[in-house]
Structure 1
């Protein structure tokens, strides 16, 4: 029965993947990753501005410029050591990063009424989100749709890339302490391209 299920699932995924054949992954894309042998690993992941995403056991997976099939292979290789036999991994593109807005007649892009940030990790609304300029980190978290049961609320990260140098800066907050009444010295104002990462809890955390 299990072999029949895997065969049928492979056929279904094949039809879904056929429409994505040749597509190259870009930053901002949302990918659905399914591991047949361990459903707890199934999740949607956001491709970060540097072209990578994080996946349990596999760590950081580079996806920019790869096809869906190549990403499947990379994830499979990354997690295979945790299984007795190579697992069956399926990747589909759930959401494609929209193209950047075109310039106005004067040659400059229109002033943005919103900025785009990204939610990644153990939140219910993973992916890009449009927010008003001036929105703070805590305000933005209210748009994440809540946290999963695996969220490490003491280690929520804000990742920001300097467009001039490419350097990445990481700030970390203890959201659990704040929700229990602790004060945050400074509520960080978000900028376009910021990534809010809610990591997965470690064992006994």
Structure 2
């Protein structure tokens, strides 16, 4: 009897990795998920990137790519094709996904969310998704977002917000450097779930 149990346990142990790979290959990416991307030919490109509320993500040499509704296999092909001009042959790209933890819907009256998801992109030292308290303002988020890189265009910080009803995106530009130098902030925008704080790269002589 013990031998039978050992055989069953060994079989399950062998099947689990295969089942996990199958689940990854059929899972359709959704906003809030995190993609772990590896390029065999250039480990310097390896990174984890968040899937933004509009279903897109950014990757070096590829720019923004669509992830929402796609599988891991489709994303691997898309990245490889987008960056292939930088390699002698099409690079080998491997993607795994960390799905965003989604809580089950509660019955009864709707409750205010405990946190909101805000995405830092561009020349930030800690780009990616951040969970912030509702009521957090743009300037407060920047102060807690890990700071800027030395290439950041702090005069042209952007807040990008997508209207959930129309799907249209609005862009608000903030001169953060002027605020740091003592300018008065006439308004400090309160962030909402899905907002994107984008810091462009500084231009020459800027």
Q: Please, which runs of 5 or more residues in structure 2 have no aligned partner?
A: 1-16
Q: Who wins on radius of gyration, i.e. which is larger? A: 2
Whether the 8 Å contact between 1:159 and 1:197 is mirrored in structure 2 is: yes
Q: What is the TM-score normalised by the length of structure 2?
A: 0.75
Supply the RMSD in Å over aligned alpha carbons.
2.9
Partner of 1:172: 173
The partner residue of 1:102 within 105, 130, 134 is: 105
Q: What is the TM-score normalised by the length of structure 1?
A: 0.75
C-alpha deviation, 1:145, in angstroms: 2.7
User: Between Structure 1 and Structure 2, how many residues are aligned?
Assistant: 188
Instruction: Please give the alpha-carbon distance, in whole angstroms, between the structure 1 residues aligned to 2:147 and 2:114.
Output: 25
Partner of 1:41: 45
C-alpha deviation, 1:66, in angstroms: 1.3
Partner of 1:130: 131
Whether the 8 Å contact between 1:101 and 1:109 is mirrored in structure 2 is: no
What's the CA shift string for 1:65-112, capped at 9, x where partnerless?
Answer: 11112111101111112222222322222x3222255234x3x32123
Secondary structure of the 2:26 match is coil
Partner of 1:7: none
Partner of 2:11: none
The partner residue of 2:28 within 16, 24, 28 is: 24
Partner of 2:79: 75
Instruction: Please give the alpha-carbon distance, in whole angstroms, between the structure 1 residues aligned to 2:160 and 2:198.
Output: 7
Instruction: Please give the alpha-carbon distance, in whole angstroms, between the structure 2 residues aligned to 1:126 and 1:101.
Output: 28
Q: Please, which runs of 5 or more residues in structure 1 have no aligned partner?
A: 1-13
